Amino acid sequence: MRIHQIRFQNLNSLTGEWSIDLSDPAYLSDGIFAITGPTGAGKTTILDAICLALYGRTPRLASVNSNSNEIMSRHTGSCYAEITFETREGQYRCHWSQQRARKKPEGNLQAHKHEIVDARTGQVLENKIRDVAARVEEITGMNFNQFTRAMLLAQGAFAAFLQASADERAPILESITGTEIYSEISRKVHERSREEKNRLEVLQAETTDLKLLTASEEEQLQEELQLKITCEKEQQQQLATMRESLTWLEKLNELESEIKIIDQQWQEYLQRQAAFQPDQVRLQKARQASVLDVTYANLSNVRQLQNDDMTSLIKVRQDLPGLEDALQKAVQAWQETDSKLQEFKVLRRSEGETAKRVREIDLLIRQLQQQMEEIQSAIAADELECSDLQTKITEQQKNLQDMLKTLNEIEKYRLDNSHDAGLVANLTGITRSFNQLMDLTAALKNKQAEWQTNEEDLRLLTISQQEIAVACENNRATMEEQYRVLKNNQDSLNVSLQGHQLSWWHKKLDDYRYEKNRLAELKQILTKISQLDSELVNNRRLAEQLEQQQQQLITKIKAGEEKAANLEREAAHLETQARLLNRIHNLEEERSRLEDGKACPLCGSTEHPFASENVPQLDETEQSLQAARQLLKKVVQEVQQEKIELAKMNNRLEHSLKAMLDTEQFRQNETGLLNVVMVELSLQLSEENTIAEIESLLLINEQNINEYNEKIIVMETLQEGIKELSAVYDEAQAVFKQTESQLQQINWQQEQARKDNERLQLEYRNIKSEVLNLQAAVLQELTPYGISELPLDGLPEIIAALRQRKDLWEYNQSESLRLEKDISAAQNELDIKQFRLQTGENAVQSNQIRLDGLREQCQVQREFRFELYADRNPDREEERLDKEINIAEDNVNQAREYMEELKLHLNHLQEQEKKLCDDVQKRSLKLQAKEKDFIARLQQTGFNEEESYLSACLPEDEQESLSRQMEQLEKEKTGLQTRLADRQGKLQQEKDKQITDQSYEVLQVNLPIAEQELNDLQDSIRDNRRTLEENDNTRKQMQEHLKKIETQKEQLHGWQVLHDLIGSADGKKYRNFAQGLSFDIMINHANRQLQKMSDRYRLVRSYDQNLELNVIDHYQAGEIRSTANLSGGESFLVSLALALGLSNMASHKVSVDSLFLDEGFGALDEDTLDTALNTLAGLQQDGKLIGVISHVPALKERISTQIQVISQAGGRSILQGPGVLRVSS
């Protein structure tokens, strides 16, 4: 990698924009050049520009961002750095820049920009900050740390390595060679070994917590589980049979209840049918009248139209006279308003000419007033400006004097504190040293506290080890005592069991309890049979009574039906007679034409008895007919009521017979169940005293249950005690194992604590030595600034004081520049303001003279205008007349519109009167025809007159409601008959199944008992299974834990072996070994460079200390000397050789063709200086360009090609040399 060009702007003291062309022939011919200048002038800033352009940071500044930019020149608003370089892949240009808001020095820092482009094509390769850093590392093959080790050896890097101790040299060599990974590996191995050990301890602790059942306990649980599973299957089958029987009985009851409900609904239907009979008659008449609905609707419409037109015609004839009078008055009003409008128009024309002349005078007066106001404003503004200028001149003269005084004070401070100027360039390095010293001091205190804590831990571990050893012996004795007690209880339980399992005793007790339940059930069945016999006798008596009442009702119904038939025949005869009499009355006109002795034209008889007013009376026949009908209705109702009573009687009789059959069936069922239970219990009972015998058997059974129950309680108590004692024994055993494990663990911890104590003591001594050495070096660096003591606890105060002195120096320096600039600007501004003051006073006098002349002209025009028009306003006068004219015109228009509107309305009423007269005459003929047609249709449909038709009509919604009621009754009748037949069929089908002979009540009582017994048994089965599953899982977990423990032991052994080889908490063990190898490689590279400068010395590694460096002095017969005994010049040569060697190591992946050394050569004599420079110049043979930074004057004579950094006033500098160009100020 070779750098061709460097460009930068406003970096530290190098303000302005600069360009350095390293491809200039002067650099290529010599191969070495020097960057010279006084201390603090800005030599290192050139190298900072290279780092900033490539990596966005410098060796002295870890980060440059929007929060902090210490490299931008003071009082500037932007900066940038750019380099053009070449590698094997091509030529590139990398640019970094940052600016403040609006590029103002006081603006806030903005986000910086970074990009890399192809220098030949101009193509942007990357422009994102993270991507640019990655692309630069990819192209150059070096990250920032490698770059500062291989190409740019920063200030102080030479002696730092040579003067460091062995412990300090390892991290330095690690940082330079990039071998930090070895320290990390050593620490990771130490941490992993500790983690694996902790993991093993956790696994062992978890194993002790697992509890297993004994073999006898597990076998006993298995036997109990199998017995309970068998009982469960039997009880499930019995429970299913009981549930099926209950369901069958419930269905029978449900069907019987539905049949009762249907019977009740049928009776309710008959009552509703009788109640609906009058409404049915009304519905038939309404349907007969509906034939005339359309004809009557048309007739009604015509009548309504005729009435409406007659009403309208009367109203029109009333309105016509008033409308004609209103029209005549409207014509007269229109003529009057038009005459008044003409008078206003004549007055408006005469007033307009005078107003025109007055406006011209008013315009002239306003123009004169406007000119006077402008002159007055100008005079006031000039007077105000003059007053303001006078005040500002006085204030500025005072400010100028204050700034001159402040500038003199700053110059005096700079002369008195000139030594603080060095802090501007050196404070960053001093701060770094202070931070390192404070870090070492804090590390020393932490290490001392860690050492003391470790000693206290070791003391406590010793005490704990003694206590745990005593507890371990006590726990062993407790465990043995618990085992003895447990064995005694197990022997007592075996004696009580008498060779059987506890489940056998439970089985015997369950058998006795089952027998007790069956005996109680047998007693209940016998009681039930006795009750059923009594019910059967009562049902038979009730059935006989109901049959007698049924025969009586049947006889009454037959008599009523015969009486109803006779009444129907009598009513029919009376109806026929009434029709004949009605016809006789209707032939009254024909009878008046009959004559005695002449034949009747209808029958031919010559006698006419009815013609002589002997006509039978129709009212008597109708009264007889009405009485017959009422009697018939009463008889029919009585017969219907008796039939309803008969139906109810049949229903009661049916239910009574059914209840009797059911009772007999229930007795048979109970008898069958009785026989089943007796067979099951193998009983032979007498017929007379069966209940007493069963009570005796129950007493014997209760005694057996109590006896077995007491034995089982004793055995279960012993068994529970054994479980508790087993738990206590297991707990004592676990406590003993845990205590034994704790004893082993604390022995190991005690040994580790002793080792850690020795290590911490050695580390504390090493850190203390580093603190003392660094303290001396820092104190020597602070001597020029008047600091002779460096207390470790006062480091923050000292660095704060130095930073305050540096800030104060920079502040006074910037204030001096600012004041000089401000004083010059203030003097120029003061001269300008004095000139403006004189000009303003002259303008005020001139404007006052013009103002007086304009006032006289304005007064003359006002007097003339008053004589012509007084104080009146011409605009308002014309506006008033125009408004009057507009009002008059509106009045004329309104009068005209109202007159025309009345004319139109009058014409409309006259036309309407004529049309209504015509319509009424034409419609009257049509109305007469429709009324005749309607009367004819009434007679055809059986109605005598219009009122009878209207009374027969029903509203449409009422007619629809009655129709729906009639249809609903028919549907209800069909539905009830269908449902009754369906339920009776289903009931018979269910009865034929004969699923059980037990009663519903017995099943309801026994079912919950059986379900509870089954649930209790299933809960017990689940408990046994859960216990066995938990035991199996615990056994599997214990096996898995034992496997994991063995695997973890193997894993721990491997890591412990590796830890013994390379592991340590601070990473030193493996780091020192790896750095020893890197140290040998670095020494070989350094010796090749050292031989070019001197054949006297050769570097070797110390055999006693891994990273100690010695030299072989060939001029002293090969004597091996310590590097601490080298002179200043010798130390520089060795340091330079080491730096070049480290550079070769750091650049092993990339070709380095440009090398910059930032180090002074002041400690060398002339011969050694020549040797060192010749060595560096000889690197040109490898194609390298070497840049050396130094303030040594002798370099100017030794190196002809130089870039000079020349200090200027105000802490700024400029550059001179080959290829150096200042682009702008």
Here the tokens at position 116 are 């890399």
pLDDT of 614 reads: 46
pLDDT of 1161 reads: 65
Does the pLDDT at position 593 exceed 60? no
Cβ atoms of 1000 and 666 closer than 8 Å: no
Here the tokens at position 774 are 């660094």
Helix axes 422-497, 690-782, angle to 10 degrees: 160
Which positions ≥6 away from 1030 have C-beta within 8 Å?
Answer: none
Q: Report d(CA 1017, CA 226) in Å as an integer.
A: 12
Does the pLDDT at position 618 exceed 60? no
Q: How far is CA 459 from CA 194, 346, 739, 747, 755, in A?
A: 22, 132, 20, 13, 14
Give the confidence band of 1022 by pLDDT, cuts at 50, 70, 90. confident
3 state SS of 288: helix
Beta bridge partners of 1154: 1185
Express each pLDDT in 420-474 by its tens digit: 777 776 777 778 778 878 888 888 888 888 888 888 888 888 888 888 888 888 8
Helix axes 690-782, 502-586, angle to 10 degrees: 110
Does the pLDDT at position 95 exceed 90? yes
Express each pLDDT in 397-423 by its tens digit: 888 888 888 888 888 887 888 777 777
Share of the chain above pLDDT 70, in %: 88
Which positions ≥6 away from 444 have C-beta within 8 Å?
Answer: 764, 767, 768, 771
3 state SS of 789: coil
Express each pLDDT in 155-171 by its tens digit: 555 555 666 666 666 66
Beta bridge partners of 11: 14, 72
Q: Which helix (H) or strand (E) holds 10?
A: strand 2-11
Cβ atoms of 799 and 430 closer than 8 Å: yes
Cβ atoms of 1156 and 83 closer than 8 Å: no
Q: What is the mean pLDDT of residues 375-384?
A: 84
The domain covering 1-151+1149-1225 belongs, at the CATH homologous superfamily level, to P-loop containing nucleotide triphosphate hydrolases (3.40.50.300)
Place of tokens 């109305």: 927
Cβ atoms of 676 and 497 closer than 8 Å: no
Phi, psi of 10 (to 5 degrees): 55, 55
Q: How far is CA 49 from CA 6, 10, 14, 114, 398, in A?
A: 8, 10, 11, 13, 45
Q: Report d(CA 1155, CA 1187) in Å as an integer.
A: 6
Helix axes 690-782, 166-177, angle to 10 degrees: 100
Residue range 423-500+692-785 forms a domain whose CATH class is: mainly alpha
Does the pLDDT at position 115 exceed 60? yes
Torsion 258-259-264-267 (CA) sign: positive
Cβ atoms of 374 and 832 closer than 8 Å: no
Here the tokens at position 573 are 């005869």
Phi, psi of 1200 (to 5 degrees): -75, -35
pLDDT of 7 reads: 94
Q: Report d(CA 34, CA 505) in Å as an integer.
A: 112
Which positions ≥6 away from 753 have C-beta within 8 Å?
Answer: 454, 457, 458, 461
Place of tokens 């369906």: 982
CATH topology for 502-577+618-688? Helix Hairpins (1.10.287)
Does the pLDDT at position 632 exceed 50? yes
Does the pLDDT at position 19 exceed 60? yes
pLDDT of 587 reads: 55
* Strand intervals (E) in 545-694: none
Phi, psi of 1118 (to 5 degrees): 75, 25
Domains 423-500+692-785 and 502-577+618-688 share a fold: yes
Residue 752 exposed, middle or buried by CB count within 10 Å (0-12, 13-18, 19+): middle
Q: Report d(CA 812, CA 808) in Å as an integer.
A: 6
Q: Report d(CA 635, CA 626) in Å as an integer.
A: 14
Give the confidence band of 140 by pLDDT, cuts at 50, 70, 90. confident
Q: Report d(CA 622, CA 578) in Å as an integer.
A: 6
Here the tokens at position 1213 are 């500098």
Q: How far is CA 815 from CA 263, 422, 591, 807, 893, in A?
A: 120, 18, 155, 12, 89
Here the tokens at position 1149 are 């992946």
pLDDT of 1104 reads: 63
pLDDT of 20 reads: 93
Place of tokens 């502040």: 811
Share of the chain above pLDDT 90, in %: 4
Which positions ≥6 away from 477 have C-beta within 8 Å?
Answer: none
3 state SS of 635: helix
Q: Report d(CA 433, CA 771) in Å as an integer.
A: 11
Q: Report d(CA 3, CA 54) in Å as an integer.
A: 11
pLDDT of 161 reads: 62
Which positions ≥6 away from 1130 have C-beta within 8 Å?
Answer: 1097
Q: What's 72's DSSP letter?
A: B
Taking residue 675's Cβ as centre, other Cβ atoms within 10 Å add up to 11
Residue 130: what residue type? R
Beta bridge partners of 1109: 1101
Of the listed ranges 207-221, 388-402, 571-585, the least confidently predicted one is 571-585
Pairing verdict, β 1097-1101 and 1109-1113? antiparallel
Give the confidence band of 948 by pLDDT, cuts at 50, 70, 90. confident
Nearest partner of 835 among 381, 399, 400, 393, judged by Cα: 393
Q: Report d(CA 197, CA 828) in Å as an integer.
A: 84
* Residue-averaged pLDDT of the chain: 79
* Strand intervals (E) in 845-997: none
Q: What's 1200's DSSP letter?
A: S
Give the confidence band of 591 by pLDDT, cuts at 50, 70, 90. low
Residue 902: what residue type? L
Pairing verdict, β 1185-1189 and 78-86? unpaired
Q: How far is CA 262 from CA 259, 267, 967, 971, 976, in A?
A: 5, 9, 20, 14, 7
Q: Report d(CA 956, CA 838) in Å as an integer.
A: 113
Cβ atoms of 1075 and 170 closer than 8 Å: yes
pLDDT of 686 reads: 62
DSSP H helices in 608-689 = 618-681
Express each pLDDT in 249-294 by its tens digit: 888 888 888 888 888 888 888 887 778 777 777 777 777 777 777 7
Q: Map out the domains of the chain as residue ranges.
A: 1-151+1149-1225, 291-416+795-875, 423-500+692-785, 502-577+618-688
Pairing verdict, β 32-36 and 113-118? unpaired
| Strands ordered across the beta sheet of 1202-1207 | 152-153, 1154-1158, 1185-1189, 32-36, 1202-1207, 1213-1216
Residue 846: what residue type? S
* Strand intervals (E) in 1180-1219: 1185-1189, 1202-1207, 1213-1216
Beta bridge partners of 436: none
Express each pLDDT in 862-888 by its tens digit: 787 787 777 777 778 778 878 888 888
pLDDT of 615 reads: 46
Taking residue 594's Cβ as centre, other Cβ atoms within 10 Å add up to 18
Express each pLDDT in 1051-1073 by its tens digit: 888 888 888 888 888 777 777 77
CA 899 to chain CA centroid, Å, is: 78
Here the tokens at position 170 are 């390892």
Q: Report d(CA 1119, CA 1017) in Å as an integer.
A: 100
